[in-house]
Chains A and B, each alone.
Chain A
Amino acid sequence: MKIVYVELDRCIACLSCQQACQMQQAAKGNGDHAGIYVNVDMDRRQIFTGTCLQCETPRCMEVCPIDALTRDAATGAIVVAKDLCFGCGLCVDACPFGYMRLDDDIFKAVKCDLCNGNPVCVQVCMAEALHFGNIEQLSQKKRQHPGLRLGLRALPKTEDSDL
């Protein structure tokens, strides 16, 4: 099973993934929402980017009253059947990560569909923060750069520094 994984340490919030996804979704008639979100918190100066994890036990799929959400046999992505979905929004409430949205223009649930196995967000991630691969490979990736995560890059201290 392949998913899109965000290596947060590498994301510089260029917004390319979100913009390219939004254009791709619009071209497919899936409304105006991207399936990947880049969040820049200006107060904390933090960047958070995330997208659907295509969960093994997908809450969204479980709560859908009309089985409009199914797992695509070829890609393993959870996809919305546009002709069935009537926009009740239960899946939006059920997703524990917030990666399911309702599009106001088409009144349907929208989400990452892994672009038939060649996600455009990954193609346009020039920071190489997004990876498309199987979960085992990606968990290896996550264990890389431990030094960075342990905060080994300290700034030199000055007496009156309040940085």
Chain B
Amino acid sequence: MNAVTTIENGVVKTLCRMCSNRCSIAVHIQQGHMQDVTPLSGNPINRGRMCPRGKASLDVFYHSDRIRKPLKRQPDGSFVEISREQALDEIAQKMLDIKDCWGARSLGMWKGEAVGFLQQEEYPRRFAHAFGTPNYFSNDSACFNGRFLGHHLVTGFWNPFPYYAEADLILLFGTNPPVCHPPFMAEFADAKAHGANLVVIDPRLNPVACYADIFAQPLPGTDGALAWGLIRYLVNAGEYDHTTVEQYSLGFEAVVEYAQKFTPEFVENETGVFAHVVVDIARLIIQNRPKVSFYMGAGLEHHDNGVDNIRAMVVLSCLTGGLDIACGLGWPENMPRNKLTLYDQLPLETEKPIGADLFPALYDIRKECHSMTAMEYMLGKGEYPLKGLIITGANPAVTNPNTTKVEEALKSLDLLVVNDLFMTQTARLAHYVLPAASFLERSEIHIDPKHQRVYLTNKVVDVPGIKDEYMLWHDLALRLGFGERYFPWENETQVNAYILEPSGITLEELKTHPEGIQYSPLTFQKHLSRPLPTPSGKLEFSSAYLEKLGYAAIPKYVRPYHLRHRSKAYPLLLTTGARKTLFYHSRHQNLKNFRKLHPEAKVEIHPEDAAKLGIENGDQVRIVSDIGELTVAANIVHKAELRRGVVEMYHGWEEWRINFTTFDQVNDPISGFPLLKGVPVRIEKV
């Protein structure tokens, strides 16, 4: 590959973006060739270590399959290389055609996790509004937003990452941190070293559960019942933080009243977690409060009752007295910065953002449209048609539910542009595929709310002809006539300087601190001196905002879909998306080294379920749900590894897309999240 490193020999310090954890790394360059990536010390996130995914950054960069030239699809389905100028000219013209014919809102922008957050997320948000469409979609509609809403609706903020090391008790729900958040591990180990207890609640036994004092295996989607059971135990014992409740919260009486039916026996019946284990967990919380850390993973949000289950957990966390303490619900200070979004200058609420009618809180709080509903609009079943999409760093043809419908919808578009590193399943459906820049080719700002640090990544290498994210939106905007007004910066560095302006920190300072700079000192217990950022200024155990939108004010427990729709035809429960150490969602499957360790998709099944179905390890089996099916190999796991009756499969495989079987129309009523972790299925031996 014709790559030009920013220095000929030496080390460039930057941040890893192989996942979203922001670890500091050093890229070693010899004679213009990047040789190795090693961890850097000084950044409290990775503390001088890194993970194997990050170690493989260069394998991604130098990969022979990388898209290097813009591609245009021909009528026969093949792709030919065209110049970037031609590609952008044609794309801009088609966008204008769609705008003339159907209106600007018939175009959408879609950002994926592979691109990143902060400015990378704000470019498409800005671009969409400058163009005149409110339709911004992202990976967040199937990851993160559910938990954000669950926390935000109670406390008004969400800092996902407590200081675990300071906790005396850590409770993990539906998550596998060693794999999805490797930096947590050191903190767990630090906490254990001073005698902290660890409780892991998950239908799947991950090795981290071997490290736990209590491991409980509930039925998927029943976490709300468990949360209410624990709340009941705490309030009935009078063992909750009275100051928090009396001075800083709303709706405690309703919580106490509603909690009464969640006796340990009721919880056992609902969740499958033994009553005495529920009591043990409650007593551990009482014994260790307020130094209790709660972490809810994506396992909780992929349910049709996800947000309320999470809200109930947050209420529980508040009752322990964890509000704005280091190991509890930390309230992060934001860095003063310029935002790139145009929600104040060019609001487009009246343009009917897709999904805002169905999931008003999602649009109101996150300014995010609902990607599952977008498929309906593409297929002509919406209020207006969605005719074009620009997708960057996202792969909905793999990761969105109901793959058959997603493919059909994407194929029906008049214009589909995909900006990516590789020919993903989504890119294969595109009219135009643009070569994206990897993180090593970008310079961008990152903010870590937990440590209140800001980072600047340093560009390590340049590939002639491949432009970064900013230039994609900038060059398109120029062609569409709003470039000078809304994308006036010449390059990413100028954008970075603009973003930083109000912070008092300069780009030069950040450049000399690859380990990041703390933008404000950590302070805690801020609710003692100022109101919380909720509508009422208090903790909202009961939310008037939600009540006004027609939801229950307190996070009432609703039985999950699979318990409401039991059927003999689909006796098993499929949960998808347990993370793999080396892949990151649908990424990195094309790395030879990684593939050797995860060669093919397998559905994990309990030995007793397998025996009943006459399935042996490695047999090809068909997973059938109400909407689709998929054939993969069976992996019979250890009897403790899964709950009986639950099968699990990874969600990101390009060749074996489990989302052929997942529902796009069974959604959480508040966040609109799809049901990905409790799909009724049957398994047949092929």
Residues of A within 8 A of B (CB): 9-10, 12-16, 19-20, 22-23, 26-27, 32, 40-43, 45-47, 118, 120, 122-129, 144-145, 147-148, 152-153, 155-156, 158, 160-163
Contact = CB atoms under 8 A, between A and B. Distances in A.
B339 to A, nearest CB: 32
Given A47-B210, A163-B277, 4 more contacts: A19-B582, A19-B597, A20-B55, A156-B284
A19 B583 CA distance: 12
B189 A123 contact: no
B178 A9 contact: no
B55 A124 contact: yes
B223 to A, nearest CB: 20
Contacts of B276: 158, 160-162
Given A120-B55, A123-B50, A42 B593 contact: no
A40 to B, nearest CB: 5
Given A9-B189, A123-B39, A123-B49, A156 B287 contact: yes
Contacts of A9: 189, 192-193
B50 A19 contact: no
A15 B64 CA distance: 28
Nearest to A42: B638
Contacts of A126: 46, 49-51, 182-183, 185-186
Interface string B164-201: 00000000000000110011011011001111110000
Contact of A40 (B183, B207, B214): B207
Contacts of A32: 596
Contacts of B597: 19, 22
Contacts of B197: 153, 155
B196 A127 contact: no
Interface in B37-61: 38-39, 46-47, 49-52, 55-56
Given A123-B50, A128-B47, A14 B185 contact: yes
A23 B593 contact: yes
A152 B195 CA distance: 7
A145 B193 contact: yes
A155 B277 CA distance: 12
B195 A14 contact: no
B581 interface: yes
A27 B193 CA distance: 36
Contacts of A155: 197, 213-214, 280, 284
A148 B287 CA distance: 18
B63 interface: no
Interface string B631-653: 00000001011000000000000
Contact of B185 (A12, A19, A23, A120): A12
A163 B640 CA distance: 15
B596 A14 contact: no
B185 A45 contact: no
Interface in B348-392: none
Contacts of B210: 13, 40-42, 45-47
Q: How large, as a class, is the contact surface on chain B?
A: 35 or more
Contact of B189 (A12, A23, A156): A12
Which 10 A-B pairs rank lowest in CB-CB distance, beginning with the nearest?
A13-B207, A14-B178, A127-B185, A10-B189, A42-B638, A126-B182, A20-B52, A45-B210, A23-B593, A156-B283
Nearest to A27: B593
12 contacts: A13-B207, A14-B182, A19-B581, A19-B582, A42-B641, A124-B52, A124-B55, A127-B188, A145-B193, A153-B192, A153-B196, A155-B214
Given A123-B39, A124-B50, A148-B192, A14 B283 contact: no
Most chain B beta-carbon contacts within 10 A, residue among A9, A43, A153: A153
Interface in B202-249: 205, 207-211, 213-215
Most chain A beta-carbon contacts within 10 A, residue among B56, B178, B196, B287: B178
B471 interface: no
A41 B280 CA distance: 25
Contact of B596 (A16, A26, A118): A26
Contacts of B185: 10, 12, 14, 126-128
A122 B49 CA distance: 8
A124 B39 CA distance: 8
Nearest to A127: B185
Most chain B beta-carbon contacts within 10 A, residue among A14, A15, A20, A162: A14
B279 interface: yes
Contacts of B49: 122-126, 128
B662 to A, nearest CB: 27
Interface string B246-286: 00000000000000000000000000000011011001100
A127 B178 contact: yes
Contacts of B192: 9-10, 148, 153
B49 to A, nearest CB: 5
Nearest to B206: A13
A161 B280 contact: yes
A14 B581 contact: yes
Contacts of B641: 42
Nearest to B593: A23
Given A156-B280, A160-B276, A45 B189 contact: no
A111 to B, nearest CB: 20
B596 A45 contact: no
A161 B280 CA distance: 8
Interface in B1-55: 38-39, 46-47, 49-52, 55
B277 to A, nearest CB: 7
B30 to A, nearest CB: 15
B52 A47 contact: no
Interface string B284-319: 100100000000000000000000000000000000
Contacts of B581: 14-16, 19
A14 B582 CA distance: 11
A161 B593 CA distance: 46
A128 B214 CA distance: 23
A14 B211 CA distance: 11
